[in-house]
Structure 1
Amino acid sequence: METDVLGPPYERHTIDLGTDDEGKVVATLVRRRGDQPSRRAVLYVHGFVDYFFQTHLADFFVERGWDFYALDLRKYGRSLLSHQTPNFCRSLTDYFPELDESARIIRSVDGHDQLLVVAHSTGGLTTSLWAHARQGQGLIDGLFLNSPFFEFNNPWLVRGPLMSLITATSAKRTPYRIIPVKALGLYGQSLHATERGEWTYDLNWKPVLGFPITAGWLQAIRRGQSRLRRGLQIDAPVLVACSTRTFRGKDWDDDVRLTDAVLDVEHIARWAPRLGPHVTLTRFDGGMHDLTLSGKQVRAEVFRELARWTDAFLPAPGTPEVEVPPAPEDVTT
């Protein structure tokens, strides 16, 4: 581990992933340990046009006795190399090797017994597919999905027949072809301190207008969403969280700061039950797309709910289990 760009106490480890058609590939695992040794760990996975910079999220977990890790996936953030197409992939399974290696380091190298995966947007879709593929292996103990990308926020005609036509003709032959789509500028403006937001981060890694959408990436997301809709069997408790409202405007409005300006939150609520048998859905009025970047009061509410859920479903190792009294006998008269 070496010192991360965030400075102490953050460290980072580069995961060598070999090469692909663009050349060398790496991922980056960031670590922040608590002041006291812990057997509990969190692995955070970012979304599209994103990387880990949310140090207040790490603060929340470390203060509650968890060691914190964050993974910048290949071609994102710290892992983006000069010869690469930002955020490009051909399949969401491309990310499974760095997820596997991160889990190995957290559990086998650093010695944690309990692992909670926290994931946002496309990271939520990717980690859901990974958790399903690794069921029965005991890799994760819980999954918190922050506004997961379960469906495109487009009319059915666009996200169905039109996207099918585009990906069928371009994804295999010209996967790096740029697909013209609506920019994420309003959401970007709502976040960065130089625009209309309160957060400071590297605009080279998370530009206000986002990165171009490619045909290969589009196909990868659509296939991942299709697999989710057929139903997964994640064998760990899952908490899915999203806003109560979606922003529908085209021009700036202060409601951008109080709604999900990227996804349709009703899609999230609709598909959440397909994750597995133990899913909790919670929604936050005034929540933004990344709930942890919402206004101060909303994100405090998000953290309170997250604390309640982890206390209930992921008690610290060694915590005595609460005995549940037996059900009363069935008496018929």
Structure 2
Amino acid sequence: MTTMKKCTIFSTLLLLTLAIFSAGSHAQTSEKWKPDLLGNGYEMRHVDQGSDYTGPVISTIIRKVCHRDSAATASDVRRGVLYVHGFNDYFFQQEMGNRFVGHGYDFYAVDLRRYGRSLTAGQKPFDVRDMASYFPDIDSALVEMQHNGISEVILMGHSTGGLTTAYFESRRHPEIIKALILNSPFLDWNQGWKERLIPAVGMLGRLFPDFPISQGTSTAYAESLLKEHHGEWTYNTDWKLIQSPPVTAGWVRAITEAQHALRDGHADIRIPILLLYSSESVSGSEWIPAHNRADGVLDVSDIKKFGRELGPDVTCVKVIGGLHDLVLSAPQIREPLYRYIFNWLDRTLPPASPLPDSQNQPDQNS
């Protein structure tokens, strides 16, 4: 074979490989960064994620970056946090983002496909058939962070986002992720006697994935959060509904499969994990004062039981009086929680960049 033919064949194979790679990589940013609805220095951009079983889908990356100290150099480690929200949720916890920025971390969050900023006309909110379908949404955010000079990422997830991030880390092990923070992760069902029906619903989800499953009519958790009821927060109730909406049998199956994949030592998460959960759970469809000092969504004993099995380095922290979303708890609860998180990060990760300048101090009023 002549050299010319070898070069031609090599070039053809190279082009074919690139074409296949490009065809399998749908994610691309579709717009420049623009101010986010949160204001206060937050930016957002949509990412085209191609199509899934519903048709075209997008994810959304939200960020707030810290101003580097003038003493920082190119050789300094730049760290960021990537946050993934829960079910019936989106990123609105800007106080949390501000705290991370104030401690020198660039803060990124992702609104997953069919959630919040990523929900498009005609889509069924929150639906999923396979939790791994969220991996490209997380991948896109990690690529964006790396592109912006971040070399170490702390991955953080709340509730179903905790399940998603743990599942992602157990399957992917990206070198860039150095620690995992789980805020009340959804590692098991909290349905009482109905829990025995979950396997049957999972089988139904294989055959009839769009079959609707009611979640009840309780508004107690939302009432514990919203300022106009018994909480202190304001958010978009079209994106985070006051009453949890019906799900599908396909969604139940996807959740159950991801939970089971993390059981009995199969998680294989090799990085340090900070597992956070409330000191107690509260049930009942009507709001009572206990809903403002307990987890009104999940069984905290399940979180501890299955969370400690996720890897060899799990720090379990019971937050006395914490809500389901612990960073939305009362001020006297979340202040020591933030202190613990940052102390844990300082103990777990080696020193990084110089401390941020005064522009990055936490905004206590946000």
TM-score by length of 2: 0.83
Indicate which of 162, 173, 194 corresponds to 1:158: 194
In structure 1, the partner of 2:85 is: 46
Does residue 168 of structure 1 match 2:206?
no
One-letter identity of the residue aligned with 2:154:
L
Deviation sequence 1:230-273 (CA, Å, 0-9, x none): 32111210000000100033422100000000000000010112
Does residue 140 of structure 1 match 2:177?
yes
Is the CA contact (8 Å cut-off) linking 2:202 and 2:250 kept in structure 1?
A: yes
Indicate which of 45, 49, 66 corresponds to 1:13: 45
Question: Do the aligned partners of residues 318 and 205 (structure 1) sit closer, same or farther apart at CA in structure 2, a change above 3 Å counting?
Answer: closer
| 1:195 partner SS | coil
Does residue 124 of structure 1 match 2:156?
no
Does residue 187 of structure 1 match 2:235?
no
Cα RMSD for the two superposed structures: 1.5
- How is 1:242-261 mapped onto 2 (pairs within 5 angstroms)? 242-261=277-296
Is the CA contact (8 Å cut-off) linking 2:206 and 2:253 kept in structure 1?
A: no
For residues 229 and 55 of structure 2, the distance between their equivalents in structure 1, rounded to whole angstroms, comes to 35
Q: What's the offset of the Cα at 1:8?
A: 4.4
For residues 248 and 207 of structure 1, the distance between their equivalents in structure 2, rounded to whole angstroms, comes to 19
Q: What's the offset of the Cα at 1:180?
A: 1.8
In structure 2, the partner of 1:198 is: 232
In structure 2, the partner of 1:327 is: none
Deviation sequence 1:145-186 (CA, Å, 0-9, x none): 00000111122x4223x11112212x1332122102224411
Deviation larger for 191-200 or 257-266: 191-200
One-letter identity of the residue aligned with 2:96:
L
For residues 61 and 318 of structure 1, the distance between their equivalents in structure 2, rounded to whole angstroms, comes to 14
For residues 95 and 39 of structure 2, the distance between their equivalents in structure 1, rounded to whole angstroms, comes to 14
Deviation larger for 233-242 or 210-219: 210-219
In structure 2, the partner of 1:99 is: 138
Is the CA contact (8 Å cut-off) linking 2:151 and 2:176 kept in structure 1?
A: no
In structure 2, the partner of 1:279 is: 314
Identical pairs, percent: 39
- Return the structure number with greater relative CO, CA threshold 8 A, min gap 6: 2
Question: Larger Rg: 1 or 2?
Answer: 2
In structure 2, the partner of 1:323 is: none
For residues 181 and 114 of structure 1, the distance between their equivalents in structure 2, rounded to whole angstroms, comes to 38
Is the CA contact (8 Å cut-off) linking 2:294 and 2:324 kept in structure 1?
A: yes
- How is 1:45-64 mapped onto 2 (pairs within 5 angstroms)? 45-64=84-103
| 1:116 partner SS | strand
For residues 283 and 68 of structure 1, the distance between their equivalents in structure 2, rounded to whole angstroms, comes to 25
Indicate which of 121, 125, 128 corresponds to 1:86: 125
Unaligned runs of 5+ in 2: 1-32, 70-76, 355-366
In structure 1, the partner of 2:269 is: 234
One-letter identity of the residue aligned with 2:279:
T
Deviation larger for 247-256 or 109-118: 247-256
For residues 140 and 88 of structure 1, the distance between their equivalents in structure 2, rounded to whole angstroms, comes to 27
Is the CA contact (8 Å cut-off) linking 1:41 and 1:69 kept in structure 2?
A: yes
Is the CA contact (8 Å cut-off) linking 1:113 and 1:317 kept in structure 2?
A: no
| 1:9 partner SS | coil
Does residue 211 of structure 1 match 2:245?
yes
TM-score by length of 1: 0.91
Does residue 72 of structure 1 match 2:128?
no
In structure 2, the partner of 1:325 is: none
